[in-house]
Amino acid sequence: MAKRKTKFVCQECGYETAKWLGKCPGCNNWNSFVEETEITGKQSRHTFSGLSSSGSKPEKITSIESQDEPRITTNLNELNRVLGGGVVPGSLVLIGGDPGIGKSTLLLQVSSQLAKKQLPVLYISGEESTRQTKLRADRLGVSSDLLYVLSETNLLTITNHIDQLKPSLVIIDSIQTIYREEVTSAPGSVSQVRECTSELMRIAKTSGIPIFIVGHVTKEGAIAGPRLLEHMVDTVLYFEGERHHTYRILRGVKNRFGSTNEMGIFEMKEEGLREVLNPSEIFLEERSQGTAGSTVVASMEGTRPVLVEIQALVSPSSFGNPRRMATGIDHNRVSLLMAVLEKRVGLMLQNQDAYIKVAGGVKLDEPAIDLATAVSIASSFRDISTRPDDIFIGEVGLTGEIRRVSRIEQRVQEAAKLGFKRVICPQNNLEGWTIPKDIQVIGVRTIQEALDLGVPR
């Protein structure tokens, strides 16, 4: 006979224990354990044997035919770029983001675009009724006979509708509201999310229907539930941006069918999301001219170069322990660059407060932004502004050397396209490519040489 077994599962990391604990040993979160019931015995063994007897057998990799399945492209080129060229048939895509950031708006627009291409789309909302979804669709101008809306949370009913309709795309909004009757825990728990995602993955792989899943995020910004959810899906996308600002950034953190460094930029309008074709102009449109502490760097986001302004404010500290704050850049990297400036250049920054920010809400994590960050700190400390038509590119080592970066040619071409006249980059990057006209490229070997060019005394 099947037996019921009680266990406690951490809702943050999925750690299981036989008794309730105040602090999770796996993720160190407090009060995250929830009691769940697991059915064991003959039923679980029968389920396991059913999965193992599916009739599949190993095949030689040389005998498997490779087929290039055409991707489903949307009218949003920014979304196609982040996905690696379009939606892959049979893929499972997870989209996360803060509440109200625009996840449902984006997916409803994509549904309308594919429906207008004569591709049936099934939009399943577990948080809104069909009338509420219709109100949002009217605001966005979404209307098509091939766009089907379903308000349902029972996974078995959802599966039956997918089998009957056989759509070209399925959207689940959101996975935390879907439940399986066989699992006794509440919707949104670790067991429910894991089992429902596993069933949706089976549907996607066996039928070839791509499925988009919306996931809630925690206050730290990570996908709610265990990390297992991100491991099960094919692609994980994060929708970032401030709710009170109009710009949204769609970033891929996992993609089995494309690059994980791509970034798509959208602007939230009253009629929905509109893609931004030239993000460099937007990030630099409000830049102050002749102000100390401001520099521009050409950062690579996947295959696209983006010019971003880095701002620094350095002021004398009123306390014994100076403050170091960074927005859009790793805090540890700022401390490292300030130590290099103090040791190799002689800037007395140990009694200075430092505040670093990347304008536009972008997060930069590549080494090529080191030189621009260091120059902006030195510019604010010396109260000397850099030239408004200068670009700084390079990685800064602990000994003060400027190391080479990747794709220098694309970075320089983007700078020349936007009217910048001078690029200061590593000396080792000057070979093997043709410098564009109307722009000067200067190679430097040390951080001191870069400061002599950018912020001379």
Binding-site residue set for ATP: 97-104
Alpha carbon distance 391, 450 (integer Å): 11
- Residue closest to 99 by CA, chosen among 249, 263, 268, 239: 239
> Are 414 and 389 a contacting pair, CB within 8 Å?
no
CA 217 vs. chain centroid, Å, equals 12
Sign of CA dihedral 123, 115, 100, 271: negative
- Could you tell me which residues come within 8 angstroms of residue 361 by beta carbon, excluding any fewer than 6 positions away? 240, 241, 242, 245, 247, 249, 328
Structure tokens at 388: 């408004």
Residue numbers in the known binding site are 97-104
Can you name the residues that pair with 426 across neighbouring β-strands?
Answer: 444
Neighbouring CB atoms inside 10 A of 421's CB total 14
Structure tokens at 408: 């220098």
Alpha carbon distance 344, 306 (integer Å): 30
From the number of C-beta atoms within 10 Å of its C-beta (0-12, 13-18, 19+), residue 153 rates as middle
Sign of CA dihedral 32, 35, 41, 47: negative
Residue 338: CA atoms inside 13 Å, Cβ hemisphere, count?
A: 26
Can you name the residues that pair with 236 across neighbouring β-strands?
Answer: 94, 254
> Are 275 and 266 a contacting pair, CB within 8 Å?
yes
Alpha carbon distance 280, 129 (integer Å): 40
Helix, strand, coil percentages, rounded to 5, for the chain = 30, 30, 40
Residue 423: CA atoms inside 13 Å, Cβ hemisphere, count?
A: 30
Alpha carbon distance 232, 226 (integer Å): 11
Whether the ω angle into residue 380 lies within 30 degrees of 0, i.e. cis, is no
φ, ψ dihedrals at 257, nearest 5°:
-120, 20
CA distances from 43 to 1, 5, 13, 38, 180 (A): 8, 13, 27, 11, 16
